[in-house]
Each structure stands twice: as C-alpha cells, then as structure tokens.
Amino acid sequence: MQRITTVAFTGHRFYCGEADQALRQLLRSLYEEGARTFLSGMAVGFDMAAAEAVIELRREHPDVELVAVLPFAEQARRFSTKERERHTRLVQEANQRITLAPTYYKGCYQLRNRYLVEHAATLVAWYNGSSGGTRQTFLSALHRGLRVENLGLIRLDPQLF
C-alpha cells in the first residue's frame, strides 16, 4: 500500500446517504488522479457507505482495493442486526482486513483513526463541525498536511487550522 495513492474515510454515524452521489463522483475523480487503495474504519454510517461506494468503483476498475481497518476484532458486536450483517458483508468483500486489536479497549477507536491518517494522502470526510472522533480525525489530517475533502454539511477553510 503506497500512501500517495491511498484515501481514507471518516464521518458521522448518522450519515443516511445525503452525499452518496457526490461521494461516488469524488471517488471517480480520485481514481483518475491515481488513487487505488481506500481505507474504511467500518463504522456505522459514513464509513460503511464509503466502503460500498469503493466496492461499486471496483466493479468498473478492478485495480481498486478496499481495506477494512477494524479497531478491534468484534467491532460489529453491538451493531443492530441489519448493520452487523452489512458490516460482515463489507469486511468479506474487502481486499484486505487489518485488525488493530483483538478486543475492545479504551482508545482503540483513536488508534484506528490515527492509522487511517498515517497511511493515507487524502481524507474524505462527512464532517459537520461537531465534536468526537470524526472531528479529531479531520483535524489530525489537516495538521499532517493531507488533502481533505469534506462532503459534510459545512465547509471549513483548512487554513484556519
């Protein structure tokens, strides 16, 4: 996996497809610019929607790779039945699975988010300005100099950070 051709995703759990069309267009553009590897943290909401969009892109371009970055082995254990089944299907369809810890521990989600930022050149976000892990990942990507594409409800000037 080459960082320069790698894209990571971050976003809120309450994502309900509001930016699906823009996400698919952006992924096609990133592919045309050379992106081939896409990292998803596989959380409910934007992460899994982004993984599904990557799988769709892979149908057109077989050299696209989806990497499921799991914070711990049983990440989906507390998901609803529907979301757990979705998670299982997406993890199975991923080209690669990276599990960062065998079990949950305080801080494992932050480790996953740090992994995403450290292994990508671009971050695609669904960020609305609220606090939490998405904000931390978004700001970390800006501070590290990643290209950040925010499909969320607000647009932030990266020069402010």
Structural domains in the chain?
Answer: 3-160 (3.40.50.450)
What's phi and psi for 102, nearest 5 deg?
-70, -35
d(CA 68, CA 118) in angstroms, rounded, equals 15
Note the pTM of the prediction, 2 decimals. Answer: 0.94
Question: How does pLDDT run along the chain (161 residues), one tens digit per residue?
Answer: 788 999 999 999 999 999 999 999 999 999 999 999 999 999 999 999 999 999 999 999 999 999 999 999 999 999 999 999 999 999 999 999 999 999 999 999 999 999 999 999 999 999 998 899 999 999 999 999 999 999 986 655 555 54
pLDDT of residue 1: 78
Q: According to the model, what pLDDT value does residue 61 have?
A: 98
Identify the DSSP state of 114.
H
The edge-to-edge listing of strands for the beta sheet with 122-126 is: 96-99, 65-70, 37-40, 6-11, 122-126, 147-150
